[in-house]
Amino acid sequence: MTASPLPSTVPTRKLLSLSLAVALCGMAASAQAQQPTVEQLQQRLERLERLAGVSGGAAVEGAGLVDLDQRLRVLERRLELQEEERVTAAKAAPKIAVDQKGAAFRSGDGNYELKLRGLLQGDARAFFGGNSQNDTFLLRTARPTLEGSLGRLLAYRFTPEFAGDSAGIVDAYADLRFDPAYTVRVGRFTSPVGLERLQSSSALVDVERALASELAPNRDLGVQLQGEVAKGKFSYALGVFNGAVDGRDAATSNPDDDLEVAGRVFFEPLKETDSAWAGLGFGLGASAGGKHGAGSSFLPRYRTPGQATFFSYRGAVLADGSHRRWSPQGWFYRNGFGLQGEYIVSRQEVARDGRRTALEHRAWQATASYVLTGEDAGYRGPTPSRPFGSNGGLGAFELTARYGVLDIDDAAFPFYADPSVSASRVQAWTLGANWYLTANLKLATNYLHSRFDAAPGGIALPAEKAVFSRLQVSF
């Protein structure tokens, strides 16, 4: 006879079996008239056996307590086996989770996973003070993301970008997770130099990145060894890449025969301790390589936080030699307060008409933020403890302030850059307010002000004044 699962719950099964056992023991201990007879107990046990799919055989005339006890033990063991089968099947069954972090599909053993996430950012931008840029509404970011794992060894991430005039690929890489201390990443991802460049755009406290990020490489193609040790107190990354220009993504293929080595070390010595300095982190990023060629794949244009170009090279200028960067960086977070800063130097050898020069540009930025509603600040942004609309919650409110400077090497003018359309220095400050309605919905408003110093032989560009607002949906 094929056994079928008992339709009742496990606690009910155990209760029935226990009740029968108690009755049998009570009968052995007392012969009082109110106790069930052996025949009644046998009938009750037969009903339980039928429910459990256990064949106890034909009723035996005159069966005693020993026979009933043996049949009870068989029934209990069958119930135990059925429960073990149920637990095993539940562990092996695929799991689906949908929450504020997106949708996840995971195998029963957890080795195979697919996550669906997304980021949508829409801006409203208004300029003042005679600025030549147009007021506009802008779809700044539209990025679905597929990420997950294929077994314990292999993880992946794929992120296309649909904002702008044409679609492109932001991230596309695979991780070979040998150990948390050493993972190999291959594909297209952010070069490990700039602190703010490595921060997700969804976690930025200001609408656009600071001036220091203009000198750091963005996404590049290559292979990288990375890891964390000492419970995350020390992390590192070291990779070989095609080479990206300052502040931009690399070309889809290597435009010359040069490669770039980039790396970063970062320390959080008091992480996860009770110290007041537990939120302190500091490190150094750097890159070194070569570039030989003309055009946007070799030489950058630098932009203000308002996304206006304030420096560019003349068309006849070539990148012609080594390109090196180094960037000390750090952060400090305590309760609702956050402070993030970095300094970066980019040194590029350039040439024009047989003349070669090494130009060295420098930038720095400091960004402070404070969460007014009591949530903790952090590199990945705050999460509201009382989301808007939930039990009268209003979400989380944050104030931000930032100041930054970018200095162009004076040797760039006038031979390598036109002083009439480029500035030698820009100073920018930003004041902002963020409203995190939920973990997935954010409203941000910034006032940006940038002031320019004239290049040698040129005139000062007009100051940039703007208000940027952003609606962000992320999951």
Does residue 414 belong to any structural domain of this protein? yes
Least confident of 247-256, 273-282, 340-349, 442-451: 247-256
User: CA 252, CA 186: separation in Å to the nearest integer?
Assistant: 14
What's the pLDDT tens digit per position in 24-57?
A: 444 444 444 455 676 767 777 777 767 666 655 5
DSSP designation for 217: -
Considering the domain architecture, whether residues 350 and 419 belong to the same structural domain is answered as yes
Q: Which of 29, 62, 92 is the last residue of a domain?
A: 92
Measured at the alpha carbon of residue 75, what is the angle toward residues 71 and 76, in degrees to the nearest 5? 120
Q: How confident is the model at residue 275 (pLDDT cuts 50, 70, 90)?
A: very high
Considering the domain architecture, whether residues 318 and 375 belong to the same structural domain is answered as yes
Considering the domain architecture, whether residues 19 and 151 belong to the same structural domain is answered as no
Considering the domain architecture, whether residues 87 and 119 belong to the same structural domain is answered as no
What's the pLDDT tens digit per position in 207-223?
A: 999 999 999 999 999 99
User: CA 84, CA 92: separation in Å to the nearest integer?
Assistant: 12
Instruction: Tell whether the model's pLDDT for residue 4 goes beyond 80.
Output: no
Does residue 1 belong to any structural domain of this protein? no
Does residue 194 belong to any structural domain of this protein? yes
Instruction: Tell whether the model's pLDDT for residue 6 goes beyond 50.
Output: no
Structure tokens at 457: 């032989």
Q: Phi and psi for 261 in degrees, rounded to 5?
A: -100, 130
Considering the domain architecture, whether residues 34 and 153 belong to the same structural domain is answered as no
Considering the domain architecture, whether residues 269 and 316 belong to the same structural domain is answered as yes
- Write down the pTM of the prediction: 0.81
Considering the domain architecture, whether residues 262 and 380 belong to the same structural domain is answered as yes
Structure tokens at 167: 């679609």
What's the pLDDT tens digit per position in 325-357?
A: 999 999 999 999 999 999 999 999 999 999 999
pLDDT at 56: 52
Q: Which domain holds residue 196?
A: 105-474
Q: Which of 92, 125, 140 is the last residue of a domain?
A: 92
For residues 353-362, average pLDDT: 96
Does residue 118 belong to any structural domain of this protein? yes
> Tokens 């989770």 label which residue?
97
Considering the domain architecture, whether residues 243 and 320 belong to the same structural domain is answered as yes
Measured at the alpha carbon of residue 53, what is the angle toward residues 52 and 58, in degrees to the nearest 5? 110
Does residue 100 belong to any structural domain of this protein? no
Give 312's strand partners. Answer: 301
User: CA 446, CA 431: separation in Å to the nearest integer?
Assistant: 6
Considering the domain architecture, whether residues 187 and 315 belong to the same structural domain is answered as yes
For residues 62-91, average pLDDT: 75
User: CA 475, CA 115: separation in Å to the nearest integer?
Assistant: 10
Pairing of strands 112-128, 102-106: antiparallel
User: CA 72, CA 393: separation in Å to the nearest integer?
Assistant: 56
Number of domains in the chain: 2
Considering the domain architecture, whether residues 217 and 248 belong to the same structural domain is answered as yes
What's the pLDDT tens digit per position in 157-187?
A: 999 999 988 899 999 999 999 999 999 999 9
CATH number of the domain at 325, please: 2.40.160.10
Structure tokens at 161: 């970008």
Top pLDDT among 54 and 199 is at: 199
Considering the domain architecture, whether residues 303 and 407 belong to the same structural domain is answered as yes
Whether the CB-CB separation of 313 and 416 falls below 8 Å is answered with yes
Does residue 3 belong to any structural domain of this protein? no
Q: Which of 71, 92, 113 is the last residue of a domain?
A: 92
Write the CA distances from 143 to 22, 38, 191, integer angstroms: 64, 72, 19
Does residue 15 belong to any structural domain of this protein? yes
**Cα–chain-centroid distance for residue 57?**
62
Does residue 98 belong to any structural domain of this protein? no
pLDDT at 162: 96
Considering the domain architecture, whether residues 191 and 42 belong to the same structural domain is answered as no
pLDDT at 8: 42
Return mean pLDDT, the chain: 89
In three-state secondary structure terms, 259 is: coil
Write the CA distances from 52 to 16, 17, 68, 461, integer angstroms: 11, 11, 16, 86
